[in-house]
Amino acid sequence: MTTVDDEVKARINERYLKYAVLSDYFPLTLQNGAVVDGVTALCSHCQGRLLHGVVRGEVRMAPENIFRVTAIGWCIECKVLSPYLFHIVPMGDTYDFRYMEQRGWIERCETKSVIPFPVKDLQEMLVAGANTN
């Protein structure tokens, strides 16, 4: 008997495998000439850094030369999937990360290549991803 949890897990697994390894999209050169060499994702459970090969996703150009990144990372240590949704925005001669919170897009005022802000609701991200295909 298939349960709702089994169906959700199957859907998550299907979407995860559909994506390319996120590091294949980098380095990114922004309109202002800034180069984003890559990103390092953190597990939403243990906060450990995920290996590049287990973070899969896509990078799309959004209006106003913003890159929209949708990704899912698999933590080998704690067996948790961490979803990510953020924008890379040109700022002067560098860039910022912006991520979604309940009240809207929030600036992450740092230029590190670490993403410490996973999307809280995986199902919300799956729905958003399905609407962009």
Over residues 38-93, the pLDDT tens digits come to 888 888 888 888 888 889 999 999 888 899 998 888 888 888 888 888 889 998 88
Strand ranges inside the chain, DSSP E: 20-21, 28-29, 35-36, 40-41, 55-62, 66-75, 80-91, 94-101, 104-108, 114-115
| DSSP category for residue 108 | E
Is the link from the previous residue into 27 a cis peptide, with omega within 30 of 0? yes
Residues 92/109, Cβ–Cβ less than 8 Å: no
User: Is residue 44 helix, strand or coil?
Assistant: coil
Full-prediction pTM beyond 0.95? no
Report residue 4's pLDDT band, with 50, 70 and 90 as the boundaries. low
12 or 1, which is more confident: 12
34 pLDDT more than 80: yes
Residues 30/36, Cβ–Cβ less than 8 Å: yes
Residue 117, number of CB atoms within 10 A of its CB: 19
Domain segments of the chain as ranges:
4-132
Over residues 82-125, the pLDDT tens digits come to 888 888 999 888 888 887 665 555 554 443 444 444 444 444 54
62 or 8, which is more confident: 62
Position 60 scores a pLDDT of 93
Residues 122/81, Cβ–Cβ less than 8 Å: yes
Range 54-67 burial, b when 16+ CB lie within 10 A, else e: bbbbbbeeeeeebb
